[in-house]
Amino acid sequence: MTSPDLRLGVDVGGTNTDAVVLDADDRLLAKAKVTTTSDVTSGIDAAIGEAVEGVDRARITHAMFGTTHATNAVLERRGLRRVAVFRLGGPATHAIRPLFGWPSDLREVVSAGERIIDGGIEFDGRELSPLDRDAIVRFAGEVAGRAESVAITSVFAPVSDEHERAAEELVRKELGDVPISLSSTIGSVGLLERENATVLNAALVDVARGVAGAIGGALAAHGLAPVAFFAQNDGTLMDLEFAIAFPVLTIGSGPANSIRGAAYLTGRSDAIVIDVGGTSTDVGVLVNGFPRESSFGVEIGGIRTNFRMPDLVTIALGGGTVVRENALGPDSVGYRIGEEALVFGGSTPTLTDAGVRAGRFVLGDAARLRARDDLLLEAIARSDATLADAIDRVKVSREPAPVVAVGGGAPLVPDDLAGSSEVLRPDHADVANAIGAAIASVSGEVDRIFHLGPGGREAAVAEASQDAVDRAVAAGAASDTVEVVDIEEVPLAYLTHPAVRIRVKAAGPLAWELTSRGTPEEEP
Amino acid sequence: MLLDGSTLPALARGCAILGAGGGGDTAVGLLAGLQAVEDFGPVPLVDLEELPEDGLIMPAGGVGAPTVSIEKIESGEEGGRLREAVEAIRDRPVVALMAGEIGGSNGIIPTIWAARLGLPVVDADGMGRAFPEIPQVAMEIAGISPNPAVMTDERGNVIVFRATDGDWMERMERAAAVEFGGMAWSSEYQLTVAEARDGAVVNHAVSLAIRLGTVVMEAEHDPVDTLAREIRAARLIAGKVVDVERRTTAGFVRGAVAIEGLGPDAGRTLRLEIQNENLVALEGDRALAMVPDIISVLDSQSAEAISTERARYGQRVTVIAFPCDPIWRTARGLELAGPRHFGYDLDYVPVEELHDLA
């Protein structure tokens, strides 16, 4: 019997859009790689069309997308909504105003105004100060007509969202049907990082809807009706509706996907992963089968967040990197490589040309590289040294380590890369990102402060773990396979009343039985 | 020297290194500092020699839980209220602010207030590092009274404390900080410039922190190695955090972090014992370094110091130890902040007698 058992994985990058089809045992059945188009939609459409050709479409029940669309929107300051920023925390928190430290051009595009209003919660759930409702109504009136989206962040919202909810109601009355993002639904403890994420989320509302629409259109055009998921920053999945509500969580999903994809393709659980794209190269570390995460909050477009993301070194080096006398990049011809590179008949020497000259790629017309030997060989030597240096920066020991080369530009990585014990080049390395998206787990996370009652910390950990599992299931994980993958406790220092901050993450494979998702199991 | 947008990032990094894991999150302190100097102008960092002999120095900082301080950020007006109260009680003007402890965000906080008050920050502190308890300061060793201590919150409440000794000050202030929401702001041990010059403070602590931060930020290749050479530190282990155990007893975080060696240190395990700050580094039964020497956990790649609050499973870290200010190696210093004060049955051995320093 042929049951619905196939998954479609799609990665929308800056240069290429890749698609793969995997079966229930994670076997690769089909793959496609097309150039990302300026409208994004037609690239997605073409990649999906090519991948599902010859596959029984009715069997495709799930589609997983990884996209840099939200990241690029922030980096390029385009398609962002203007956000009214409410912070509930006065008279505290004035020492750092909302959006302080943001790049000024981004703040100009994103902010419809910022206000610190009296209110907020204490760590133990008491009110920091009474919520100043009049001030909320006043500020909402001031930004009316200018604000296209709203972000509300209260001090200690992870402990209680009471003031955020009350403020939401008041803003709704004043501004009507405007999207409102609440920090309690987005981030963990750490006011500024959570506020930044909430504001970015509010700004990205259209981007998320746009991508979701493009995906929906492409799937429908190819006769597919799968449940769609988005990859998030730590490499796990969330469902499409969740991604539309929380687009900020898709930021940075690409590197996590490529590292997971590399683990899948090589069967290795510990290695350095080099993902060579058209414009840039990410070097990350695979530890026990997962991307190693950064010890500190990650910066996105110059904004500090508390997202968990792979600990990466990103360098401006890729197949499209422009080669000059004594210089490599940092500019790239990007998706125009098919016209601009020398081997393809263009007039711009690129790292791809250097790779062809050095015998690493067999591409285009090598004869067109004659008389450019000095330039190209010097470029490849420079590229090798840059890659070796990047490896050295992510390594924590001097011993050589295995390296997995993935991405469209993987052949640029030399076999004798300094600092490597071996260079692995798995089949299908060019679509590692899309594979990583297709095989990712669905996760749920809790990060809250608990006041220890009679059950002590065991009861608190159990409650947090259950919440994390529930969130994973709500996001699409199969309820019988979800497990807690990380527990972190931080008791609050100097306090005489026992309280502890507990962070739990649960993750599990996708639910194949979608009908049972989110409803309690009923035994007859 | 001026404390401004160009020097504060280095100060923040240096404060984190000197914090021995404690003292509060420097990322929040740095942003508040940057906003203060942007809005109110840079703050002069002055040497004790530049101040009038009879001038009053106000040591100040935050008391409470670091987790609260990354959420309920200060208003910025706390320092002004502390100064007002101190000046009213002592009936004389404050000439400069000083960090009670240079370690962690408490090393940056005086700058946030000084910018608003138009006062300088003095290049000194009370510890040369961070310690968990209020009386663990050079002023206590020098016989300066902690009284009158003044505490305030972000709402405008002010308490004046008069304690029979430093230990009672610690107990009363901690109880009040809990009531204020886990975090409060205070000044104790105010002293004259003459007393400070006489050795009642750790001199040049701020410029040291800036130098350490600068060395790390400007390191071309291996920032950990560069830093270790600069401060003559011993490298205790390079490895990975494999266990983090933290529990609250008597209002403190106590616990341990286990680090498993990688590379040349493979096969070794180091255990760091914690009471807010890193107190003792043990390998089996052997102490590799102990309080009051400074034990810091650094990110192996960037040399950024990781506070006990942010230690997490899987982090790649290098643990270093380096000598504390000599004041802590006196009999009174060891009584206040040596291993036995924290309940360890250990005789203090200076780090340089246990290891070759870089």
Q: Which amino acid is at A192?
A: L
Residue in B34, B71, B262 nearest the CB of A155:
B71
Note the helical H segments in A422-516.
Answer: 432-439, 456-474
Q: Which of residues 6-65 of A touch B (CB under 8 A)?
A: none
Residue in B77, B240, B251 nearest the CB of A494:
B251
3-state secondary structure of A409: coil
Find the helix or strand (DSSP H, E) in which A230 lies. strand A227-231
Q: Which of B8, B68, B298 is best to mutate for the A interface (most A CBs within 10 A)? A: B68
Contacts of B326 (CB under 8 A, 6+ apart): none
Is the predicted pLDDT of residue A167 greater than 70, yes or no?
A: yes
Most confident of A241-250, A459-468, B163-172, B296-305: B163-172
Separation of first and last alpha carbons in chain A: 28
Asked whether the beta carbons of residue A191 and residue B73 sit closer than 8 angstroms, the reply is yes
**CA A111 to chain CA centroid, nearest Å:** 23
CB A247 within 8 A of CB A210: no
Residue in B67, B73, B174 nearest the CB of A96:
B73
Asked whether the beta carbons of residue A492 and residue B73 sit closer than 8 angstroms, the reply is no
Round to whole Å and give the CA distance between A65 and A139.
38
Count Cβ atoms within 10 A of the Cβ of residue A343 and give its class: 0-12 exposed, 13-18 middle, 19 or more buried. Answer: buried
How far away is chain A from the Cα of B275, in angstroms, using its nearest Cα?
9
Asked whether the beta carbons of residue A93 and residue B314 sit closer than 8 angstroms, the reply is no
Round to whole Å and give the CA distance between A121 and A494.
19
Asked whether the beta carbons of residue A295 and residue B310 sit closer than 8 angstroms, the reply is yes
pLDDT in tens, A44-63: 899 999 999 988 988 998 89
> A-chain residues within 8 Å CB-CB of B309?
490, 493
Among candidate residues A216, A257, A254, A208, the one with its CA nearest the CA of residue A437: A257
Is the predicted pLDDT of residue A36 greater than 80, yes or no?
A: no
Asked whether the beta carbons of residue A495 and residue B27 sit closer than 8 angstroms, the reply is no
pLDDT in tens, B82-107: 999 999 999 999 999 999 999 999 99
Asked whether the beta carbons of residue B31 and residue A192 sit closer than 8 angstroms, the reply is yes
Asked whether the beta carbons of residue B264 and residue A398 sit closer than 8 angstroms, the reply is yes
Q: Which of A88, A94, A96 is best to mutate for the B interface (most B CBs within 10 A)? A: A96
Q: What pLDDT was estimated at residue B210?
A: 98
Contacts of B265 (CB under 8 A, 6+ apart): B237, B238, B239
Q: Which of residues 302-341 of A touch B (CB under 8 A)?
A: 304
pTM of the model: 0.84
Is the predicted pLDDT of residue B250 greater than 60, yes or no?
A: no
Separation of first and last alpha carbons in chain B: 29
Among candidate residues A477, A483, A443, A486, the one with its CA nearest the CA of residue A233: A443
Q: Is A132 on the interface with B (CB under 8 A)?
A: no
What strands, in cross-sheet order, belong to the sheet with A83-90? A111-118, A83-90, A149-154, A180-182
Tokens (6 digits) for A418: 């300094």
Quick one: what percent of chain A has pLDDT higher than 70? Answer: 92
Round to whole Å and give the CA distance between A500 and A523.
37
Is the predicted pLDDT of residue B167 greater than 50, yes or no?
A: yes
DSSP letter for each residue of B221-239 = S-HHHHHHHHHT-EEEEEE
pLDDT in tens, A388-423: 988 877 776 667 889 999 988 999 999 999 989 999
Residue in A97, A292, A497 nearest the CB of B178:
A497
Of residues A39 and A490, the one with the higher pLDDT is A39
